[in-house]
Structure 1
Amino acid sequence: MRAKQKKDWYGREKSIEELHDDARNWISEIDFITDEIRFLERLLSYNYINCKEAGLLEEIQKVIKKITAEKKVGITAKEVIQEQERILSNLIKTNAASQNENYFDTHQKLEAEIRFYIHKYKNIKKEIFTIIETILKKKDQKKLV
């Protein structure tokens, strides 16, 4: 199991353990994002009335659509990662892990997709924070008047 597996991306080799660690890290990241999405949805629902008063209702609805779509993407990505883990397990059992180029290609593509998913989610989170910040500022302005 310590044998290095050739990876064509980044010009280095990765062991089977490192490939497995990638998958575990991705699943952990997706689980964390799922928890954050749940929190952000609650945050938006608690501030819904303030959003309406601040005139940000349309923006909130757009962001809610985006975050709902990302939640679905996360669920699908997690299922794909788990399937990749099952395939890797079977390849290890049959001692075919180092010869399977298709697995490494799929792993590489999955890695790029996960990075894109995380990047996209972070941008949506920034949008939500900007909206909430705007709401809080308008709410504070009303208190001063």
Structure 2
Amino acid sequence: MDTPKQNFRYVEWKSSDEMHYSCLQWISELNFIKDEQIFFQDMLKEYTVPILESHLLEEAKTLIFKLTDSEKQVENLMKETTKHRNGLQVLVDGIDQPNQEKEYREEHRSLLKQVNNFSIQYQSLKKDIFNTVSRALKQQKQKKLLS
């Protein structure tokens, strides 16, 4: 899926407190996504029979693969974000290090793009999972009504 290219210029002007707060927000969002992923795994397991009866197995397998891949991405983003948050010392240590500070800000910008792109892809995956399970349940309900 192509994600729109976003140009974030405000990172240069963010204070160290604002960048720290951004990191905490990303970590919170990623933790929530981890919980959601467990819910989606359970949901796909719970509705296996309707999915099989509706002949949506291949679609469900693809979704499970994408969900597993997104779990790995969340773990990587969590590690990068935590490492980045811990590196904030470069900005607050009181020592003037323009190259390292610029490097940290560029890293923040890159991480911002990664988290936003992942979030867009993950929202699409959630929609696909709900649509697949919903179709399976509707088809199962129709079969029961016709029986």
**TM-score relative to the length of structure 1:** 0.88
Q: CA deviation at 1:11?
A: 7.7
Superposition deviation, residue 115 in structure 1? 0.1
CA 1:35/1:11 → structure 2, altered by over 3 Å: closer, same or farther? closer
Range moving further from structure 2, 135-144 or 56-65: 135-144
Written as runs of structure 1 = structure 2, the 5 A alignment for 1:1-145 is 9-10=9-10, 13-96=13-96, 100-145=101-146
Paired-residue identity, %:
29
- CA contact 2:16–2:91 (8 Å) conserved in 1: no
- Structure 1 segments, 4+ long, off by >6 Å, are none
Per-residue CA distance 1:57-80 (angstroms, 9 max, x = gap)? 000000000010001000010100
Question: Which structure dedicates a bigger proportion of its chain to strand?
Answer: 1
Give the TM-score, by structure 2 length. 0.87
Preserved CA contact (<8 Å) 1:51 1:60: yes
Gaps of 5+ in 2: 1-7
- Whether contact under 8 Å (2:63, 2:129) holds in the other structure is yes
**1:86 CA displacement:** 1.3
TM-fit CA distance, 1:95: 3.4
Equivalent pairs, count:
138
Instruction: Give distance in 2, aligned partners of 1:97 and 1:114.
Output: 27
What do you get for the CA RMSD once the two structures are aligned?
1.8
Structure 1 residues 96 and 142, CA gap change in structure 2 (3 angstroms)? farther
